[in-house]
């Protein structure tokens, strides 16, 4: 990483031209707190460098900070208008507006009332900022039915209800602070300033102008002119992600090329859509500047760049863990959410719990539920605890969950209580699960935890507005507050600043990079408030209302950027949403440059991936490994599986190795209702029961149509009830009826085929066989074996999907089950005259197979077509081929052959879950050559 004096103050504003104004104590107002803070730091550095012995704190404030300080003075002096009403916080104001919307007739139809409430608050404050009275003759025509839409009429209704509610309760909306402060200045209760200066306050609203004019005899705008950037370039990139990559590599080069390492140049990367792209931007800059960022020992607060955009506090891992712990008080949760929560390091689990936790996660997956009850989770925890822990020292997780549940039961989650009571319960509930964990939290986690605690206190203070609520209402409200609160961790200062367009306005840098400067992105598209009449917004030139207004605003910002750095580079994506794009017209005269020309190397050469790999490999101890050749199967090694082992070895040797020797099994995925495999099991079970009763074809033929229908119906229902009893997510009555009717129809259709067959007797159903094949000891389950009139036997394999006898041919058969079963039965000196698929499908049922020429089953007798497709002269030779093929597959498996070599990459890999292990999708030409060798 680049060495840099991170502990030193860094100036991002040229304060020297206005140092005298700052020293005079004159109030300087800025549009945002970032600029005010940076100006104060710049003044401190200026005074230090010029050896000023005593320095008074500069009177530099953002306009909102100044308003808040004025309001505090009014409260301390007991100004009647200030103490007569309770000032609402922004969150409390939103609660009231959302409640008004929900209680209205129109609000009942909204899918996102919280978002609508935000628009209503924005409209309310916009009208106040523009000093517009909704009832005045000048404004009323814009809201008339002829010139406006229904939304504007509804807005008026909601705003009137909001004002009435606040008046009745004695509440003061935040925006109305301005009017009371203005009155206080006019009345002389607040001391006016001889003069007020503003910096970069380009577009103050009419209300802000009135506020400043009431507070000062003179208001002036300080113009701190700087020369235009000496070097200007436009860089066209392939897409928005490449823009960020190139900007990061360029910034890294500027630091490396710094003449004086003790005084690094200041660099700004300005991204107008930084809020939307924050995660991507942080990831890319970490990859470029901090290859070791993912290592556990890395200090996250030591990143060599600052980013102005924060993230929702609720997204911070330590805070997300608290939300999970509180959500565990609900009757059910998403299974994925529970698994992620259990893996969190912010609870009582330690490394000693890893094996038990892995087993618990496996059992949770095996439930195949998208939603799972918290009671069921506790049952599974108890089951795992019994397997991994002693009775004298049970699994701490079980005790924690029981305490957690008892707390919820004791407080009564459906009882309405004040938010203060729920805040106490929140803390108790979190403490019972050991949050925030036993590990030492880092600086960023500590800051997030402190902000969480402050927010919980703020939520308690909102109790008067929200009233008594249930647990779910309190939890949802707290969760919304956390999602809407921006978390910006305090880190050490850095010469690299990643900023949004507004945050960068007014600051000064050595180098400036503007990203997202395509004609489709800059100026931004208008985004007027959807509830205010568009004609009103255009008439008063309200923000984001028109394309012309956005263009004028972009011009002002662009002019400021052109004079805020010595070098100015702008980048743009040449393709946006699959459509070509050009640089914005505001930079049309800039010389064009490609990323490679700018960086003087290719992007791939500069990205530190190779360095990451080199450092990683240096830390590891490696052992020799021969690709695609595993250790041979030892006599002591047990192998699980049956016919699937041969099928997997034929499909891909690595699949057989990973599945049957390594024991890799894909986690079960949630399903709605029952999946295809379960439906197949239902069919197997129902047919097993039917033939247990009928025993032979004569028993079937003795049934008339109504009796057969009843038989199929009864056993379909029996099989379904049996399965439903075992399922975690029980089927409803309607679903059971649908599945029963479907299965009953399938059974009837199949029995119609059985009636047309030659005479047979069912001699085994779902027979489990433990067998040895070469060195392998395996288990197989044969669906069914029938004895025919000549005493020979036919092996039947039920298939609910499409099937073909072609899957038995060749050295790598797709479905070697029946060839294997044939070999096993003949080892028991049983004469097998045929094998076949019983295709039981809604589109048609039939018997497909192959057998001896003398087989009593006509449809299975040997034919010339079978000879040509199988490559065998007759049935005995085909069985010999199968024996040879199965032996070869078994020997390859025993020898450790595990090459990644799918028989058919499309078919063999389509339903395989091992792609992330075998890396089949990442093998290039070199891997292909190895395979061919």
CA 109/CA 94 separation, integer angstroms = 19
CA 544/CA 524 separation, integer angstroms = 9
Residue 628 has a pLDDT of: 61
The H or E element containing residue 334 is: strand 332-334
Using alpha carbons, list the distances in angstroms from residue 307 to 301, 479, 492, 613, 660. 12, 25, 11, 27, 49
Q: List Cβ neighbours of 930 (8 Å cut-off, separation of 6 or more).
A: 627, 628
The two structure tokens encoding residue 862: 């040997």
Choice among 532-546, 619-633, 684-698, 855-869 with the minimum mean pLDDT: 619-633
Asked whether the beta carbons of 505 and 202 are under 8 A apart, the reply is yes
Where residue 5 falls among pLDDT bands split at 50, 70, 90?
Answer: very low
Higher-confidence position of 510 and 771:
510
Q: Nearest CA to 420 among 339, 494, 474?
A: 474
Q: How far is CA 165 from the centre of its chain?
A: 40
CA 750/CA 691 separation, integer angstroms = 12
Q: Torsion-angle region of residue 516: left (phi > 0), alpha (psi -120 to 50) or beta? A: left
Check whether 856 has a pLDDT greater than 90. yes
Check whether 134 has a pLDDT greater than 60. yes
Residue 638 has a pLDDT of: 83
What is the mean predicted confidence (pLDDT) over 593-603?
Answer: 92
CA 505/CA 499 separation, integer angstroms = 9
Residues counted in the chain = 933
Residue 931 has a pLDDT of: 39
The two structure tokens encoding residue 219: 């208001």
Q: Each residue of 550-576: pLDDT tens digit? A: 999 999 999 999 999 999 999 999 999
CA 66/CA 69 separation, integer angstroms = 5
CA quadruple 794, 798, 803, 807: dihedral positive or negative?
A: negative
Asked whether the beta carbons of 831 and 790 are under 8 A apart, the reply is no
Residue 296 has a pLDDT of: 66
CA 564/CA 585 separation, integer angstroms = 20
Q: Nearest CA to 356 among 399, 392, 397?
A: 397
What does DSSP say about strands 231-237 and 311-312: parallel, antiparallel, or unpaired? unpaired
Local structure of 576: helix, strand or coil: strand
Higher-confidence position of 493 and 73:
73
What does DSSP say about strands 511-514 and 267-270: parallel, antiparallel, or unpaired? parallel
CA 697/CA 694 separation, integer angstroms = 7
**DSSP 8-state assignment for residue 54:** S
Choice among 214-218, 294-298, 491-495, 800-804 with the minimum mean pLDDT: 294-298
Residue 131 has a pLDDT of: 94
Where residue 531 falls among pLDDT bands split at 50, 70, 90?
Answer: very high
Where residue 930 falls among pLDDT bands split at 50, 70, 90?
Answer: very low
- For the chain, the average pLDDT equals 90
Where residue 925 falls among pLDDT bands split at 50, 70, 90?
Answer: very low
Choice among 177-191, 346-360, 605-619, 833-847 with the minimum mean pLDDT: 605-619
What is the mean predicted confidence (pLDDT) over 7-32?
Answer: 88
What is the mean predicted confidence (pLDDT) over 517-538?
Answer: 93
Asked whether the beta carbons of 568 and 587 are under 8 A apart, the reply is no
Tally of CA atoms within 13 A in the half-sphere of 74 that contains its CB: 27
pLDDT more than 90, % of the chain: 70
**Range with the largest mean pLDDT of 103-112, 604-613, 623-632, 804-813:** 804-813
Asked whether the beta carbons of 366 and 454 are under 8 A apart, the reply is no
Choice among 55-69, 458-472, 719-733, 912-926 with the minimum mean pLDDT: 912-926
CA 146/CA 395 separation, integer angstroms = 70
CA 768/CA 774 separation, integer angstroms = 19
Q: Each residue of 404-453: pLDDT tens digit? A: 999 999 999 999 999 999 999 999 999 999 999 988 888 899 999 999 99
pLDDT more than 70, % of the chain: 94
Q: Each residue of 303-315: pLDDT tens digit? A: 788 999 889 999 9
CA 112/CA 761 separation, integer angstroms = 65
The H or E element containing residue 344 is: none
Asked whether the beta carbons of 900 and 923 are under 8 A apart, the reply is yes
**DSSP 8-state assignment for residue 231:** E
Rounded to 5°, the CA angle 792-797-798 comes to 135
**Helical ranges in 3-52 per DSSP H:** 19-23, 33-49
Residue 907 has a pLDDT of: 84
Choice among 394-403, 594-603, 908-917 with the minimum mean pLDDT: 908-917
Q: Each residue of 62-121: pLDDT tens digit? A: 999 999 999 999 999 999 999 999 999 999 999 999 999 999 998 888 889 999 999 999
CA 52/CA 55 separation, integer angstroms = 7
């Amino acid at each position: 990483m680049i060495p840099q004096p991170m502990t030193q103050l860094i100036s991002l504003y040229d304060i020297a031209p206005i140092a005298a104004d700052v020293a005079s104590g004159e109030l300087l107002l800025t549009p945002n707190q970032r600029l005010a803070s940076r100006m104060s730091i710049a003044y401190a550095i200026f005074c230090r460098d010029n050896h000023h012995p005593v320095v008074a704190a500069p009177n530099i404030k953002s306009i909102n900070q100044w308003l808040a300080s004025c309001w505090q003075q009014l409260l301390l002096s007991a100004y009647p208008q200030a103490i007569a009403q309770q000032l609402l916080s922004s969150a409390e104001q939103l609660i009231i507006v959302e409640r008004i919307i929900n209680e209205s007739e129109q609000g009942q139809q909204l899918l996102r009332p919280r978002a609508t409430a935000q628009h209503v608050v924005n409209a309310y404050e916009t009208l106040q900022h523009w000093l517009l009275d909704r009832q005045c003759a000048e404004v009323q025509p814009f809201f008339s039915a002829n010139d406006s839409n229904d939304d504007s009429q509804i807005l008026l209704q909601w705003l009137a209800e909001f004002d009435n509610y606040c008046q009745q309760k004695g509440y003061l909306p935040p925006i109305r602070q301005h009017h009371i402060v203005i009155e206080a200045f006019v009345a002389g209760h607040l001391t006016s300033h001889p003069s007020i200066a503003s910096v970069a306050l380009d577009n103050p609203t009419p209300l802000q102008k009135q506020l400043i004019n009431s507070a000062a005899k003179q208001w002036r705008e300080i113009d701190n002119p700087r020369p235009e950037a000496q070097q200007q370039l436009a860089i066209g990139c392939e897409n928005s992600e490449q823009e960020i990559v190139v900007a990061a590599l360029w910034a890294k080069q500027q630091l490396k090329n710094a003449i004086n390492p003790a005084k690094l140049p200041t660099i700004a990367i300005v991204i107008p859509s930084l809020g939307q792209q924050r995660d991507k931007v942080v990831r890319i800059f970490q990859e470029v500047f901090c290859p070791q960022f993912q290592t556990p020992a890395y200090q996250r607060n030591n990143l060599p760049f600052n980013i102005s955009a924060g993230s929702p506090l609720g997204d911070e891992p330590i805070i997300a863990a608290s939300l999970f712990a509180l959500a565990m008080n609900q009757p059910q949760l998403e299974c994925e959410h529970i698994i992620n929560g259990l893996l969190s390091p912010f609870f009582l689990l330690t490394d000693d719990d890893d094996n038990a936790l892995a087993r618990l996660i496996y059992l949770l997956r095996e439930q195949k539920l998208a939603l799972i009850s918290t009671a069921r989770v506790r049952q599974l925890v108890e089951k795992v605890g019994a397997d991994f822990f002693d009775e004298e020292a049970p699994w701490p997780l079980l005790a924690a969950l029981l305490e957690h549940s008892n707390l919820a039961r004791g407080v009564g989650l459906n009882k309405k209580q004040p938010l203060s009571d729920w805040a106490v319960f929140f803390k108790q509930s979190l403490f019972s699960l050991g949050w925030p964990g036993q590990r030492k939290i880092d600086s960023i986690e500590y800051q997030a935890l402190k902000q969480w605690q402050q927010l919980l206190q703020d939520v308690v203070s909102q109790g008067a507005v929200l009233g008594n609520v249930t647990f779910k209402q309190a939890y949802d409200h707290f969760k919304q507050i956390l999602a809407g609160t921006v978390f910006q961790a305090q880190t050490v200062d850095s010469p690299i600043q990643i900023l949004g367009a507004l945050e960068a306005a007014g600051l000064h840098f050595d180098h400036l990079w503007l990203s997202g400067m395509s004609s489709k992105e800059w100026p931004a598209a208008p985004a007027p408030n959807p509830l205010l009449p568009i004609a009103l917004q255009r008439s008063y030139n309200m923000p984001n209302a028109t394309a012309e207004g956005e263009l004028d605003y972009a011009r002002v910002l662009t002019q400021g950027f052109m004079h805020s750095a010595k070098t100015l580079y702008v980048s743009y994506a040449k393709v946006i949403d699959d459509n070509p794009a050009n640089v914005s017209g505001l930079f049309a005269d800039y010389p064009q440059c490609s990323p490679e020309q700018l960086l003087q190397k290719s992007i791939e050469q500069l990205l530190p991936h190779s360095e990451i790999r080199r450092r990683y490999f240096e830390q590891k101890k490696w052992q020799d490994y021969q690709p695609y050749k595993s250790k041979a199967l030892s006599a002591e090694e047990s192998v699980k599986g049956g016919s699937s082992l041969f099928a997997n070895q034929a499909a891909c040797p690595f699949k057989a190795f990973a599945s049957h020797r390594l024991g890799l099994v894909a986690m079960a995925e949630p399903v709605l209702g029952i999946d295809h495999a379960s439906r197949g099991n239902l069919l197997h079970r129902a047919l097993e029961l039917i033939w247990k009763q009928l025993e032979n074809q004569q028993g079937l033929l003795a049934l008339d149509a109504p009796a057969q229908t009843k038989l199929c119906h009864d056993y379909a229902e029996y099989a379904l009830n049996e399965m439903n009893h075992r399922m975690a997510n029980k089927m409803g009555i309607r679903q059971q009826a649908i599945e029963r009717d479907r299965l009953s129809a399938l059974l009837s259709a199949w029995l119609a085929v059985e009636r047309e067959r030659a005479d047979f007797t069912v001699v085994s159903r779902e027979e489990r066989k433990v067998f040895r094949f070469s060195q392998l000891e395996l288990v197989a389950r044969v669906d069914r074996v029938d004895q025919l009139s000549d005493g020979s036997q036919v092996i039947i394999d039920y298939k609910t999907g499409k099937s073909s006898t072609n899957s038995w041919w060749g050295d790598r058969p797709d479905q070697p089950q029946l060839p294997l079963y044939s070999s096993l039965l003949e080892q028991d000196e049983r004469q097998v005259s045929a094998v076949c698929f019983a295709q039981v499908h809604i589109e048609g049922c039939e018997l497909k197979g192959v057998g001896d020429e003398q087989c009593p089953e006509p449809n299975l007798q040997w034919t010339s077509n079978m000879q040509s497709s199988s490559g065998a002269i007759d049935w005995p030779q085909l069985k010999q081929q199968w024996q040879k093929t199965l032996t070869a597959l078994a020997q390859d498996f025993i020898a450790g052959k595990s090459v990644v070599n799918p028989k058919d990459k499309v078919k063999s890999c389509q339903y395989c879950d091992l792609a992330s292990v075998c890396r089949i999708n990442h093998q290039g030409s070199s891997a292909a050559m190895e395979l061919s060798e």
